[in-house]
Structure 1
Amino acid sequence: MAERYTSRGSRKLDFDGEHLNLNDLRAKEKQNRYLYSDNIPRYPQPEFLVSNLKHDTGPSGLKGIYSDSGFIGSQDECLMWFNLAVGPEEIRSAEKKLLKETFPKVLQKEATNNFLRKFATSPAFSEKSTYGSFRFTLSLQEVLNAYSQQFCSGERPVMKVCRTSVFPQEVEYTVLVHSPTHERFFKYPQKTDYSKCPLLEDQPKDAVCKYIDGHFLWRSQAMCGTHRY
């Protein structure tokens, strides 16, 4: 575990090379009280299958993207950041899968009350952003294919479990994508040795995040006691 600060000055705790679920975090992290809420009501535990990425930015970032004719890493991090774009279609798909597994004998047309949307109130599902008012939404495969051609000489990029970051009101899971020939990124402020990060494909079946057939699979967990449905 390492205490670090973002470029915006926000404090966070990083667990490098691990994607820790809620129970694992409770065993290792003692400072953020929201992880230890004992009044979390029962809730569906869906699996979101996501095929799109999003990059949110402000006016200065937008100008940089246009002037550079594309996306490049920041000078202080040398990393380019994308988030999963979990929209209404992904939520509905996860809902159908959950209903089919839980109530296999119920006709799908009889279970169309969009109940999962009522739980998806985290900023991770919001159309709004705290990173700026401009959003680029791209296909995951489009990004990986472009990265393969530009940085991997046509080879398949390597995906690794980068870290779990615990913020005052957020838990972030990071996946690192890099060329097969480059494993160390010494320009990163904390000089993390990414060669020690485990491969994403080697993670267990019940891992928080997996890569399956061109999609990211994300198993979300609730950490608050405010949902009542």
Structure 2
Amino acid sequence: MQHFEHLKLEDLKIKPAVAENSYLFKANIPEYPKPEFHVSLLKHETTREGLQGIYTDGGFRDPNGGFRDPNGLSLIWWSLAVGPEEINDAETRLLEKTFPGVKVEDPEQQKFLWKFATSPAFLETSRLGSFRFTFPLEEVLTAYRDQICSGAEPVMRVYKTVLYKQEVMYVVLVHSPEFDKKFSKYPLLKDDPNAVCVYRDGRFIWRSEAMCETHWYELNIRDLNQMEARRLPNHQFYVWDHVAVALHVENTEKVLKFEVNKLQQNFKYCEEGGGTYRSNYTDLDVAKDLVFKFWPDWPGPLEVERSLQLSYPGKTYELCINDFMFPSQI
């Protein structure tokens, strides 16, 4: 764990504490893109117990009261929600940066970036629980400003880089300006063109260092000013990265509240993803009963995000689909 920095992979490798990480130091990782994602949505994933707490409180809080944070901070955790639109936009930016002055609408240029978006950061399945709330970033920041910061603009800082066995997590700390002195040792999140993550114009800009996790393709730059994903005969496992946003609350019982209709509007059920942190996932039928018990006036269907696996020789593709479970079906 490296406090005060968002370390790129090459900088992370020279830290003595990570010398034993077998994934980070793997050689012969195929060439892959490092695009720039512009993200305006945050997601919060939780378990059945967490959902019940959100229902009871009318919003989000730190259920552990700061006891699980190494620094004793009470934090409400979110992460960037990156979907197909953000991936397509990032692909366009990557082409424009790689081939300046070249028309990116070339009909011969095939979509390629989605083939590299194989890490949990891009999947609709969840590693943290069966229930996901996805909110516009500005809505979360506005609620935080009004409820936690007494109307003042929140402050964003570089909190830390966390390296797990195969996962690199870049954490942005958001706090009230009231606690500027308390957090002064953490650098401000500046609009640095070389930074892993910055905030600009209502969006987080994430320059991913490792978007694949499982490498099925190699990035190939063709002579015709085109990029392509070239299929590999054998896949490779590597580290993957993502950005988490930690909202600080000094009072451990403080709740970041949202109107009931907002919670309902921004809620979906998720299937369990690979490499999960928790084992207490909720069956879909149980989840439907739970949701309609909490909110009998639920406005229409319960949306379900699940991955549809399509198998081809040597590879299983995970596609995202939406399903709808109406109250009459429970």
Band of TM-score, shorter chain:
0.7 to 0.9
Distance in 1, Cα, partners of 2:180 & 2:104 = 49
Counterpart in the other structure of 1:156: 153
5+ unaligned residues in a row in structure 1: which ranges? Answer: 1-13, 185-192
Equivalent residue runs for 1:3-22 within 5 Å: 14-22=1-9
8 Å CA contact 1:37, 1:225 repeated in 2: no
Judged with a 3 Å threshold, the aligned counterparts in structure 2 of structure 1 residues 113 and 146 are, in CA distance, closer, same or farther, namely same
Segment of structure 1 superposing worse, 105-114 or 135-144: 105-114
**1:172: how far off?**
0.2
Task: Please state if 1:91 is matched with 2:80.
Answer: no
Number of residue pairs the alignment of both structures matches: 207
**1:221: how far off?**
1.7
Equivalent residue runs for 1:27-176 within 5 Å: 27-28=14-15, 29-77=18-66, 78-103=74-99, 104-110=101-107, 113-176=110-173
Distance in 2, Cα, partners of 1:105 & 1:183 = 46
Q: Deviations over 1:150-209 (max 9, x none)?
A: 11111110000000000011000000000000257xxxxxxxx633110002x6321111
Counterpart in the other structure of 2:194: 206
8 Å CA contact 1:53, 1:139 repeated in 2: yes
Secondary structure, aligned partner of 1:173: strand
Where is the helix percentage greater, Structure 1 or Structure 2? 1
Distance in 2, Cα, partners of 1:60 & 1:92 = 36
8 Å CA contact 2:4, 2:159 repeated in 1: yes
Given residue 204 of structure 1, which amino acid in structure 2 is its aligned partner? Answer: D
Q: Deviations over 1:50-107 (max 9, x none)?
A: 0000000111100100100111122342210000001111001101111222234234
State the structure with bigger RCO (CA 8 A, min sep 6), 1 or 2.
Answer: 1
**1:15: how far off?**
0.5
Distance in 1, Cα, partners of 2:106 & 2:130 = 37
Where is the strand percentage greater, Structure 1 or Structure 2? 2
8 Å CA contact 1:37, 1:224 repeated in 2: no
Secondary structure, aligned partner of 1:93: helix
Distance in 2, Cα, partners of 1:87 & 1:224 = 17
Distance in 2, Cα, partners of 1:55 & 1:225 = 24
Given residue 2 of structure 2, which amino acid in structure 1 is its aligned partner? Answer: F
Percent of aligned pairs sharing the same letter: 52
5+ unaligned residues in a row in structure 2: which ranges? Answer: 67-73, 218-229, 231-330
* TM-score in terms of structure 2 length: 0.60
Computed over aligned residues only, the root mean square deviation of the Cα atoms, in angstroms, reads 1.8
8 Å CA contact 2:92, 2:104 repeated in 1: no
Distance in 1, Cα, partners of 2:52 & 2:91 = 38
8 Å CA contact 1:39, 1:225 repeated in 2: no
**1:225: how far off?**
7.2
Higher Cα radius of gyration: 2
State the 4+ residue runs in structure 1 displaced beyond 3 angstroms.
none
Distance in 1, Cα, partners of 2:204 & 2:124 = 19
8 Å CA contact 1:51, 1:214 repeated in 2: yes
Distance in 2, Cα, partners of 1:204 & 1:16 = 18
